[in-house]
Amino acid sequence: MFFLGMMNAYILRSNISVAIVAMIRTAEADGNGTDGSTSICGEFSFGSTPANKTMQNQGEFDWDETQKGRILSAFFYGYVFMQVPGGYLETKFGGKKVYGISMLIGAILTLLTPVAARVDFWFLFFVRFFMGFFQGVIFPAHHGMWGKWAPPLERSRLLSITCTGTNVGTVIALALSGYIIDQIGWPWVFYITGIVALVWFVAWMLLVHDSPAEHPRISEEEREYIESSIGTNVQEDIPVPWLEFAKSRVVWCLLIGHFCNNWGNYTMLTNLPNYMATILGFNIAENGLLSALSPLTIWVFTVTGGWIIDVIRSRDILDTLNSRRLLTAMGQFLPAIFLIISGFVGCDRAAAVAMLALSAGFGGLSTPGFKICHIEIAPRFGGILFGITNVFGSIPGFIAPEIIGAMTNNNQTREAWMNIFWIGASIYVFGGIVVLLFLRTDIQPWAHAPDKSSADPDVIFLEDIPNTRSQRHSDETKEN
């Protein structure tokens, strides 16, 4: 259900990226491509209809690139506000309600989007803003709930699988949006995806429970295994060490890494369809399908990376810290390289699409690399801590579209996009260096229960275990 929830959340978040290409009216081409109506690389289509012919004059709204960037960034302006409160709400009211209600409101606002766009530009902006505001709780709630459900040796795999729902959702949103627009018009992108999210909400409220202790259908053996391997005191009501968060180098490392990795993710998520249309010249249906390749590769790489890191750890090839460093290095430096290459290949469309997809895919390795370390360094505060770092991780969501909109307004050129790629690559590299220098995976002293602060700091996964049952299980798992 978490996988499907993340999938639906990102469908609601991403559907406007392709839809806005069809929503905006384009002027007649002047031949130089700088007004955004003609692609720099000329007309192209896999079918018989030239790309530019299908794009011209089909939209309803006279918005420029700056306004387009503002609509694309509106979600993230709201999203950033609820990251820390989201973790707190999860601890107080349970992730089931917090996560579920956020999705319900997101679905309703999605259904309202076509009406909002036709009423006023700023009405649409605030609909997207409040959608982001209410969906800002989903990742803190997600991490907080897994802190109660995921056994340590299964944690990388479980979180990687559920987090890749975001990538599958983006794939579906981009690919399906182009087809829906081509067949029945852009408003139906929002109607269809909103209804699907409502159906998911009903299933979520009926099937999901906050912890193993509250689940009526889980076996007693499974409940005891989960609770003993995690440590039942993870669920105790302990004061949040806010000052220790602020003083912790590893928290700042995760914060900076989250910001830098998400810059590349959000650049691709919100602006790749624009690049596909204005530079590479694909029509709306092909644009959606090809834009979907990037989140598809993220999904494949993230799941594979989560599986690899669990194998590496269980066979003692590398310890937890170095295995996460390995995937972090691949997830930060390789995306930068492929992003730059995509700019240099010019109008070789196949090469450009492939390089962008590889850049996005390798970026996905940062999820099993460092993005799940919050619940390793502080299991009981995983949701709140992720919320803190995701505040900064969300900032690129509204800064990147605004900057790209300003850089490309009346300037849709390869040179402008090359500069955008250089900025993204530099940020990837900087984040990778910081994370490699300061990442830790051991439970931090301030994350222990008050009477357990003297616990062995070298224990990486199993915290404050009330008995030895989980340790025996872990040893057996490693031997197998």
Q: How many C-alpha atoms does 464 have within 13 Å on its Cβ side?
A: 21
Q: Is the pLDDT of residue 474 over 50?
A: no
Rounded Cα distance, 59 and 257, in Å: 38
2-28+69-208+240-479: CATH number: 1.20.1250.20
Q: With cut-offs at 50, 70 and 90, classify the pLDDT of residue 163.
A: confident
Per the listing, tokens 């180098």 go with 249
- Percentage of the chain with pLDDT > 90? 29
Residue 82 · residue 280 · CB < 8 Å: no
* pTM (2 d.p.): 0.72
Domain definitions of the chain by residue range: 2-28+69-208+240-479
Question: Given this model, what pLDDT does residue 450 score?
Answer: 60
pLDDT in tens, 441-470: 888 888 876 654 444 444 433 344 344 334
Distance CA 52, CA 40 (A): 11
Share of the chain above pLDDT 70, in %: 81
Residue with tokens 């700042």, as numbered in its chain: 252
pLDDT at 378: 86
Look at residues 418, 293, 303, 305 and name the one whose alpha carbon lies nearest to residue 357.
Answer: 293
pLDDT for 16 beyond 50: yes
Residues 358 and 296 sit within 8 Å (Cβ to Cβ):
no
Q: Does the pLDDT value for residue 479 go beyond 50?
A: no
* CA proximity to 12, closest of 87, 82, 100, 111: 111
At 286-307, the pLDDT tens digits run: 888 888 888 888 888 988 888 8
* Chain segment 384-442, per-residue pLDDT in tens: 787 788 888 888 888 888 888 889 888 888 899 999 999 999 999 999 999 999 999 88
Highest mean pLDDT among 23-37, 106-120, 169-183, 344-358: 106-120
Lowest mean pLDDT of 188-192, 244-248, 280-284, 352-356, name the range: 280-284
Q: Which residue has the tokens 């590769």?
A: 297
